[in-house]
Each structure stands twice: as C-alpha cells, then as structure tokens.
C-alpha cells in the first residue's frame, strides 16, 4: 500500500470497499477495491484470486484495466483504473437515454464482449451496475467475479450465475448455455437504456419465469428501424436464432463503430463460426448435460438460482469482546428470555386458523400492506447477483457468535420491556435480518433472531398502527427470505446429497442436531404466521424457495426423521404449502416439487395421514384437497389405493377436526378421475 494514497471511499458492499485513490509516484487517479479476508473460507478466497487472474490478462479500452493486485495480512487489494460513474446510477437519475447516446455505450459494450469472446471468456453477469462510464463518456465493463475462461474443448456451461432480470432464458430454464447468454444480457442493457426498464420487469422470480416463457417483448416504436432490428436480434429467446458473432459486427446499427483489434482471436475464438466437428461436439455436450439434469428437473427449474447473500459484519454493539454469554444462562434475564419459546409464541400466533386456510376466516388489522411502499428494486432478490447452489461459507468465530447472542438477548429484553416501537424501525430490524445471512449458521443466533422477530405479534401492548408499521418493515427488510436462508444454512448437510445416488437415504446422510431443529422450528413459526398475514410475505417466501434451491431441503424437513423429532416443523410447513395453493395457485409447481415428486412422496403422505398427531392429519387432508384442485396430474402420478383408504378411514377418526378435513378432502378427490370411489356403496348403506 506504500505506493498508493487513499482519497476517499466511493462504494461499499458485501465484497468489501472501493476507494478512490492515486499512485503517489505518478499522481494517476485509480480505484482500490479492498476485500477483507476475515471470515472468508478458502473457497471464497480462491474465487477472489481467480477473478484477479482473469482480469489481469485482459487489455482492452472498454474493459476496466487492472493495474495491480496484492495481499496484505488481512486484505486482498485490487488496483484498477478509475471511472466516474456506473451506468445504473445514470439510468436511475435520467430514466433513459436517447438513441445516439445509448448507441455509443452499446458499441463500447459490443467491443468489450467481442474481445472477451474472442479470448473464450464469458462475463456471465452483464448489468448496468457492472458498466462504468469514465469522464470521456467511454463505457467500460467491470466485475469479473462470475467470469469463466472456457477451455478449447468446452462448448457449453451449466452453472447458473448472474442477475435474474438480465439472465438469458436458457439460464433461467437451467439448459446448457454458451457465450450467447452474454449477448442476451447485452440486449437487456440496450433495451433498458432506450426504454427505461428491462424487457421483462417484475419483482418475482416466478413471474419472471412465466414472462420469459409465455410473453413477448414489447418493442419500442420510437427508435430507428436499425436499432429495433438490433434489439430484436439480441433478445431472441432461442439462443440458436439469437444475433451472434460474426454477423453481429455487420449489423447496420453498430457496423463500423466496434473496436476489433488485430490481436484479438486466440485459438478457436467464440467469435468464429464453428466447424462441422465443433458443432457436433457442442451438440453432443448439450445433449449429455441435458440428460444429466433431466432426472432432477421439474417445471420450477429456476430453483437452482441462489441469492448471493448480503453480509453484515460491523454490527454496532456495546457488548465487550470478553463477554461470555454462557455465564448468563442462569440469570433471571436469561430465564425470562427463555420463556419466549416456540410453544408460547406458537400459541399466541395460533390465532390464525391454519387448518382451514381456504375458508378465508382470518381477519387481521391491516391485512393488505401498502405495496406502493415496497420497492424490491432497491435491495430485492431480482437485483441480487446469483450463484447457482452457492451457500455462504463464512463460518463465524466463536467470539463473533457470543457477541451476537449477547446482542440479540439484550435486544429481546429491551423489546420485552415495552420498547416494541424499535421493531418498527427499519434500520434496527435490518441489523438482525442481515445477520441471518452471515451468522445464520449458528443455530442459537438463528433461534434468537426468530424469537425477536416474533415478539411484536405476541405482545399485548402493540397498537394496530404499530403493527402495520412493523409488518411493512418486515416486508422491506425481507424478513421471510432471510429466515428461509437461515434455514438453508441449518440444513447444509444436505449439500452432500448432491453427489449421492438418487436411491440414497437422505435421512441417513443428514442428521440435524437438536439445536439446529430448534432453530428451524422457531423460524418456521414466524414464517407461517407472516405468510398468513399478507400475500407480500407469501410472494417473498415463494421467490426465496425458488432462488435458494430449497425444494430438496423442504422435502427433508417433511420427512420421517424430522416428524419424529420436531413435529411442529412439519405441521407448519404443511400449513405454508396449503397457503401457497390457496392464495397463489399459479405457484402450484412449487408444491408439486416439494410434496409430489416420486419415488417416496406417496409413502410420506401415507405416514402423515396416519400420524398420531391430529393436527398433522387435519392439515395433510386439507393439503390433499388443495393439491387435488391445483395439482391433479402430479397427484395422480403418485396416487395409490393405500392413500385412498387412508383418507376414507379418516372420515371416522376420533378427532372431530380430522373428520371434517377428511370429508372436505374426499369431496374434492372424488371429482378426480384417478379416485376409484370404492367407499360409495358403504356410504350409501350407512
């Protein structure tokens, strides 16, 4: 660092901090990206070093130039040329650009992409935030964290990386893809510059999938014919028909304005037309990869898209570093906090009738949130970069965990002492929801934060006005998605099943501790309550399941191992899935993927219908009713005589609620062609 002087900080994020600086010897203005090593895994550090290696070899006027990179004891430092503004900042201020100005930036980006693709490098995260504009108005591509250098024999990739609103349809569908995915993202940026919005604008990943599959792009009628043709060529959903190299260079909208260096084009550049043998090899690779994925894919294929978690490390706390939380466990304060249990929280949250989710009998004050105040584009999931199947591998130190436990316990005590208004403060609640992504691997931290988030809903002192503010804050800080992510961290053992045979017993591979199950249970209690409060929370829950690849985890949490040890988790999840079918029947594929995928789904349903818990039998009956109504084909695929007998026998259950639920389920099931109606004669005799 002796060669550089910091002038001021220009940006901060989960990656670290970016400073404007200067080279002392030459007085050249530069940018310094300082990434702390603290709390990062070896895998993360290797990825950061790989990003440096990719960018170190790139030399082009439309790509941010790396000047230097080095490591100190605690940081990785990357020194690059300095550019004034992000394209996203310009668009947020001006809305859109005129065609002449947009064309200049588009040509710069085409130049950068031609250079990258000619050297067999895919960027994989093109978006306005990764386009910098220097003081001369030149656009420069940056952030190569997801970039991939393809070996000569590799023609397609499958790992999903990027930002959903700019992802090509083939990535959303989990199909093999190539460099043409970058060209779709370029088309999205071009469209956004000209129109003021992305081609498919939504705050829901599920809605985005539907738009990409079934909707056509609304083309602007105020651009030139050449510009329109350019947009239509890049935003072709079929990658085989998409405008690509080398024809792209000759398109009239950009012809003659793209920088093509004589040095560009190494061995087998992606910008050249494939030979017959290369085309055959590419086709074989695509078939092979598609065949591998076909066993695990369903219509909800975007479930492999995972959030890049936001990190929150600098938490303001007055707790000293030598605080020992364990020593406080015998204190009166700790005993008081321990009374905020799953049982008493669940009882008070139980004012919602989870057994009758479709009877719409829940009347809560201010049931519909003010959606105009909810702007997910500010920090929403669709504007978060995604890394398929990635989980935050940061393992907090014991000291960090102890500090957080002490901090959360103190906050719990303050809220219990009638400081409930703090839960209506976005900054205060955000500290805890963000901490779930960084410290959520700690079962105790997750448990205590979930308890804290539950407190306003069990307090007797909260006014209706306060409750509305609190719920609005929970939407804005994405309490539900962060709780889902914490549950994902608690079930990381399931990652080992990705390399296991499909016939392996997941329960034998993943054995959760009692603390992990308690953390999951506490999280499920508050999630269940929130998704029944308002569809905003339900939307966020559905998106979180898709983006964090949670289907396998929820299948496991409904399994015998969890039913035997923590029944409340299963009953709450069944209630949530029923609510999805009641309020969001368009998301029925999510429920199918969790409940109705063979080979074990029929036996699991049988076990739930015959379980000793009347609550579980009741809720499973209502879930069956809703699946018969919304997931008939998938239910038919796993339906058996045993399940039919189970439901029919529950008409005579000793529990009145179970009998009612079974009658409702049978009423719907008997409308289905796969139901054999064997009990009709008996019913008539009776």
Residues 6 or more apart whose CB falls under 8 angstroms from that of 193 comprise 87, 91, 96, 97, 102, 105, 106
Q: Mind telling me the catalytic residues?
A: 125
Look up residue 274 and give its DSSP letter: P
Of the CA atoms within 13 Å of residue 319, those in its CB half-sphere come to 21
Rounded CA separation 108/228 (Å): 18
Q: How many CB atoms lie within 10 A of CB 108?
A: 23
Nearest to 533 by CA among 373, 345, 346, 367: 367
Cα–Cα distance for residue pair 481/541, rounded to 1 Å: 6
Distance of CA 478 to the CA centre of its chain: 11
- Binding-site residues for ATP, in ranges, read 33
Q: Which residues are annotated as a binding site?
A: 33
Q: Please answer whether residues 173 and 181 qualify as being in contact, where contact means their C-beta atoms are separated by less than 8 angstroms.
A: no
Please compute, for residue 331, the number of CA atoms within 13 A of its CA located in the half-sphere on the CB side. Answer: 13
DSSP 157: B
For residue 372, CA distances in Å to 132, 376, 381, 481 come to: 31, 10, 17, 20
Can you give 563-591 as a three-state secondary structure string?
A: HHHCHHHHHHHHHHHHHHHHHCHHHHHHH
Coil vs helix vs strand at 204: coil
Query: Whole-angstrom Cα distance, residue 97 to residue 95?
Result: 7
């Amino acid at each position: 660092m002796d060669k550089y002087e910091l002038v001021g900080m220009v940006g901060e994020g989960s990656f670290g901090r970016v400073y404007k600086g200067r080279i002392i010897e030459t007085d050249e203005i530069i940018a310094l990206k300082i990434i702390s090593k603290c709390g990062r895994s070896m895998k993360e550090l290797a990825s950061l070093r790989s990003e440096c290696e990719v960018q170190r070899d790139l030399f082009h006027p439309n790509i941010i130039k790396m000047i230097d990179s080095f490591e100190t004891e605690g940081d990785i430092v990357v020194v690059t040329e300095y550019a004034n503004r992000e394209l996203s900042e310009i668009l947020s201020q001006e809305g859109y650009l005129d065609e002449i100005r947009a064309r200049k930036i588009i040509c710069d980006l085409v130049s950068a992409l031609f250079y990258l693709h000619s050297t067999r490098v895919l960027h994989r995260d093109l978006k306005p935030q990764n386009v910098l504009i220097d003081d001369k108005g030149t656009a420069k591509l940056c952030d190569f964290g997801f970039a991939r250098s393809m070996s000569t024999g590799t023609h397609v990739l499958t790992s999903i990386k990027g930002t959903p609103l700019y992802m090509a349809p083939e990535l959303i569908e989990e199909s093999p893809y190539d460099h043409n995915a970058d060209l779709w993202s370029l088309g999205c940026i071009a469209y956004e510059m000209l129109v003021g919005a992305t081609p498919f604008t939504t705050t829901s990943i599920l809605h985005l999938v539907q738009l990409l599959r079934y909707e056509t792009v609304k083309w602007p009628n105020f651009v030139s014919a050449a510009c329109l043709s350019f947009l239509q060529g890049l935003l072709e959903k079929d990658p085989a028909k998409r405008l690509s190299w080398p024809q792209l260079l000759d398109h009239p909208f950009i012809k003659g304005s793209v920088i093509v260096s004589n040095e560009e084009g190494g061995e087998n550049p992606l910008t050249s037309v494939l030979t017959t043998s290369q085309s055959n090899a590419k086709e074989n690779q695509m078939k092979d990869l598609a065949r591998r994925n076909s066993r695990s894919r369903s219509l909800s294929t975007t479930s492999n898209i995972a959030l890049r978690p936001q990190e929150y490390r600098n938490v303001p706390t007055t707790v000293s570093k030598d605080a020992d939380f364990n020593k406080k466990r015998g204190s009166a304060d700790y005993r008081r906090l321990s009374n905020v249990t799953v049982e008493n929280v669940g009882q008070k949250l139980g004012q919602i009738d989870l057994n009758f989710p479709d009877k719409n009998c829940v009347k809560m004050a201010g049931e519909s949130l003010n959606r105009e105040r909810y702007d997910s584009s500010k920090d929403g999931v669709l504007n978060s970069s995604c890394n398929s199947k990635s989980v935050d591998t940061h393992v907090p130190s014991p000291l960090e965990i102890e500090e957080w436990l002490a901090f959360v316990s103190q906050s719990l005590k303050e809220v219990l002492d009638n400081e409930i208004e703090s839960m209506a403060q976005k900054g205060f609640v955000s500290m805890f929801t963000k901490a779930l992504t960084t410290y959520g691997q700690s079962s105790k931290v997750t448990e205590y934060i979930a308890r804290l988030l539950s407190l306003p809903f069990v307090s007797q002192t909260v006014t209706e006005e306060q409750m509305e503010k609190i719920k609005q804050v929970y939407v804005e800080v994405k309490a539900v998605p962060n709780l889902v992510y914490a549950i994902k961290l608690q079930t990381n053992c399931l990652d080992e099943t990705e390399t296991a045979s499909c016939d392996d017993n997941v329960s034998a591979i993943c054995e959760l501790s009692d603390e992990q199950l308690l953390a999951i249970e506490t999280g499920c209690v508050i999630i269940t309550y929130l998704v029944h409060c308002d569809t905003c929370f339900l939307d966020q829950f559905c998106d979180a399941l898709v983006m964090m690849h949670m289907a396998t985890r929820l299948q496991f949490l409904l399994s015998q191992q969890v039913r035997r040890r923590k029944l409340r988790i299963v009953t709450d999840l069944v209630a949530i899935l029923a609510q999805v079918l009641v309020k969001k029947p368009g998301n029925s594929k999510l429920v199918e993927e969790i409940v109705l995928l063979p080979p074990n789904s029929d036996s699991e349903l049988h076990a739930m219908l015959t379980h000793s818990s009347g609550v579980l039998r009741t809720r499973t009956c209502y879930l069956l009713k809703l699946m018969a109504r919304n997931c008939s084909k998938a239910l038919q695929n796993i339906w058996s005589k045993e399940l039919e007998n189970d439901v029919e026998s529950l008409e005579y259950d000793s529990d009145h609620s179970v009998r009612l639920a079974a009658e409702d389920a049978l009423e719907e099931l008997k409308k289905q062609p796969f139901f054999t109606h064997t009990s009709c004669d008996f019913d008539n005799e009776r």
